[in-house]
Amino acid sequence: MAIGVKVLERPIEQTSYVRATLSGMALTLKHLFARDTVTIQYPEEKWSLSPRWRGTHRMLTTEDGKAKCVACGLCPTVCPANCIKLVPGEDEKGNRYPLLFEIDEFRCIFCGYCQEVCPEEAIHVGRHYENSEYSREGFVYDLERLMAQTHPVCEMWDPADPKGE
Amino acid sequence: MIESSFPLLQAGLQVQPLAVVEGPEHFKAWLVATIVKMLILFTIYLVGVALLTLAERKIAGWIQDRLGPNRVGPGGIAQPLADGLKNIMKEETYPGAAYKPLFILAPAFSFIPALMTMAVIPFGAPWYSRWGVIDMSIAPIPIGFLYILAISSLGVYGIVIAGWSSNNKYALLGGLRSSAQMISYEIAMGMATIPVLLLSGNVSLSAIVAQQTSGQWPLAWNFFGCTIAFFIFFVSAFAETNRLPFDLPEAESELIAGYHSEYSAMKFSMFFIAEYANMVTASALMATLFFGGWDIPFTLWDNNAHSLVASLATAFFFFVKILTFVFIFMWVRWTLPRFRYDQLMSLGWKFMLPLALTYIVAMAGTIVGLNFAGYARGSWVFGLALLALNILFVVVVFLIIDRGRIISPAYSRLDRRNLEKLRQAALDRTRFHPAEAGD
């Protein structure tokens, strides 16, 4: 026996293999007939996500269908995973808008800082998690794709209301 | 005296008419019947084995509060089909250092003996048809039981050869373990069945079944006459089929997958099928030897009806008995953890073998004594006397000996002084090398 192995001593007259076996088998039989299954049949039933779930991003739009983003550059700055690529542009009226806005969902750590930092409440993390692709490139979401997302967005944690009530 | 000790030797031969081969007409009937029996039995057997893989996964799921496979077909019923398809389409890999001829043959070596054993087991009452007596077993050979012992020992070759030819240390260790395990438990298994053979006075399986159907119902079954033999056989059957708690040849936490570590695709599947086939065969043997074979409990009409209906009804009951045992196999598997290797060996050699030998002596003495007193097998007194002996044995074994002795805990191998010394050493070690002190 190896040195240092923890040896648990029990009085020999209390150890009974047959009885231990039978009680174990009674337990498994009980579970066989009275099951306490918590399995969720995934594609058919889905887990209800928390309102604070941070998942796939979504870009909110104004009434006329344009992105709310003003290309201020806060989200790529705050992003700890460096997954947001933003090239700002300016139209003839002097309004800033994103020429290029890409989020690499594969790189993202879903911390939600982008949503917290956004002054226009444009970029959001969403209550959505089913984003699978056949290639890595497919995970780079451009502006159109971010705007096309329809899932509900995350309600961020509010220090004034820590329980979310 | 000798004749009276084996009152059923003659009776056994009478109730077991071999294939009638007088004249071409009978031969033709025998040939057709045999082919039909082969086709039907092996179709049921192989399809059943495939379905058992599903049953195992379902039962595992239910015991663990899961659902089990339920995606392919209604309730997952087509899962074996999907598994089979997958395994056939998968790439077969050959390890570079493997000895290829044996590597390829090993799955067959482990699969075929399981099927061969099934051929001699009587699965229904004989049918006295217009074309002669048709036995409800494919090959009703008169040395049935010896044949089974011989063939079931061949199963170990598949595993050992698989382990050796893979040229992999884990596979080799698995093969070695399985050979040690199977040989150890085969001895106990063979010894356990001697009381059954003593009672029936015949090694033919149909005679053993006939003898269990002839007496009063509960006492005639060998389970009540040879309870301890049944338990030894039962435990050995687990060891022989490499099922938990005796799955040391596989032991995934120690040996990856043991002897079939290097196998992929259909060759792995063959080992898997062989395990289930062995399980069915062991269950069939337990039903035949101890639970009256195809005998329908509580009734007597089936014993001498000799009609096709009786044959089919008894066959049905035989399959029910097999499935019950297969269920117990699975139930035990998902309950008990694996033995340590020393526990396995000491259980086989230091407990079951002496117990089996003692039991043989006790049973033989009782049978001789009862025969001297003028009670033959089949009478109430004989049955009750054996039952009393077995109750005595069960009490002694399961209530008195089973105190940390059947399966010995780790500390029982050390004497107290050594244990203290080891503990002190462990303490010193952690004191001087605090870095090693984990929990």
Domains present along chain A, CATH in parentheses: 55-148 (3.30.70.3270)
- The token pair at A77 is 């700055």
Cα separation, B323 vs B249, in Å, equals 25
Q: Which chain A residues in 36-75 lie under 8 Å from chain B, judged by CB atoms?
A: 36-39, 41
pLDDT score for B38: 87
pLDDT score for A11: 65
Q: Kindly report which listed range (B220-234, B319-333, B357-371, B392-406) carries the lowest average pLDDT score.
A: B392-406
Q: Is the pLDDT of residue B6 over 80?
A: no
What pLDDT digit, counting tens, does each position of B12-70 carry? 444 444 444 456 667 777 788 888 888 988 888 888 888 888 889 899 988 888 888 88
Which of B332, B409, B414 is the closest to A15 by Cβ?
A: B409
Q: Is the pLDDT of residue A138 over 80?
A: yes
Which of A1, A18, A37 is the closest to B402 by Cβ?
A: A18
What pLDDT digit, counting tens, does each position of B299-321 carry? 766 666 677 777 788 888 888 99
Q: Is the pLDDT of residue A5 over 70?
A: no
Average pLDDT over chain A reads: 84
Task: Find which of A6, A9, A16 to mutate to test the B interface (most B CBs within 10 Å of its CB).
Answer: A16
Task: Find which of B62, B399, B414, B429 to mutate to test the A interface (most A CBs within 10 Å of its CB).
Answer: B62
Q: Which of the four pLDDT bands, split at 50, 70 and 90, describes residue B215?
A: low
pLDDT score for B328: 92
Which of A5, A10, A37 is the closest to B65 by Cβ?
A: A37
- The residue of chain B with its CA nearest to that of A27 is B335
What pLDDT digit, counting tens, does each position of B249-289 carry? 787 788 888 788 888 888 888 888 888 888 888 898 888 88
In whole angstroms, how far apart are CA B430 and each of A1, B287, B439?
17, 55, 10
Q: Is the pLDDT of residue B156 over 70?
A: yes
pLDDT score for B217: 66
The separation between the first and the last C-alpha atoms of chain A, rounded to the nearest angstrom, is 58
Q: Annotate B44-80 with three-state secondary structure.
A: HHHHHHHHHHHHHHHHHHHHCCCCCCCCCCHHHCCHH
Residue type, A126: G
- The token pair at B111 is 């699969």
pLDDT (mean) for B352-362: 90
Strands A140-141 and A96-104 turn out to be antiparallel
Distance from CA of B32 to the nearest CA of A (A): 44
Average pLDDT over chain B reads: 80
Cα separation, B176 vs A138, in Å, equals 51
Q: Phi, psi at residue A86, to the nearest 5°? A: -135, 125
- The residue of chain B with its CA nearest to that of A29 is B63
Cα separation, A129 vs A42, in Å, equals 13
Complex prediction ipTM? 0.72
Q: Is the pLDDT of residue A160 over 80?
A: no
Q: Other C-beta atoms within 10 Å of B83: how many? A: 18
pLDDT score for B17: 47
Distance from CA of B368 to the nearest CA of A (A): 32
Do residue A38 and residue B65 have CB atoms under 8 angstroms apart?
Answer: yes
Q: Is the pLDDT of residue B1 over 50?
A: no
Is residue B58 within 8 A of residue B76, CB to CB? The reply is: yes
Which of B335, B402, B409 is the closest to A28 by Cβ?
A: B335
Pick B222 or A58 by higher pLDDT.
A58
Do residue A35 and residue B65 have CB atoms under 8 angstroms apart?
Answer: yes
Cα separation, B310 vs B303, in Å, equals 8
Q: Does A13 touch chain B (CB under 8 A)?
A: yes
Q: Phi, psi at residue B304, to the nearest 5°? A: -125, 20
pTM for this one? 0.78
Cα separation, B413 vs B405, in Å, equals 11
Q: Other C-beta atoms within 10 Å of B338: how many? A: 17
Task: Find which of A6, A8, A15 to mutate to test the B interface (most B CBs within 10 Å of its CB).
Answer: A15
pLDDT (mean) for A1-5: 58
What pLDDT digit, counting tens, does each position of B362-394 carry? 888 888 888 888 777 767 777 788 888 888 888
Q: Does A8 touch chain B (CB under 8 A)?
A: yes
| H helix runs in B128-168, sequence order | 144-165
Q: What percent of chain B has pLDDT over 70?
A: 84
Cα separation, B434 vs B382, in Å, equals 69
pLDDT score for B13: 42
Cα separation, B411 vs A56, in Å, equals 56
Do residue B404 and residue A36 have CB atoms under 8 angstroms apart?
Answer: no
Do residue A3 and residue B410 have CB atoms under 8 angstroms apart?
Answer: no
Q: Is the pLDDT of residue B162 over 50?
A: yes
Q: Does B430 touch chain A (CB under 8 A)?
A: yes
Contacts of A25 in chain B (CB under 8 A): 331-332, 335
The answer to whether the bond into B107 is cis (omega within 30° of 0) is: no
Which of B59, B403, B429 is the closest to A16 by Cβ?
A: B403
Contacts of A31 in chain B (CB under 8 A): 62-65
Is residue B203 within 8 A of residue B145, CB to CB? The reply is: yes
pLDDT score for A80: 93
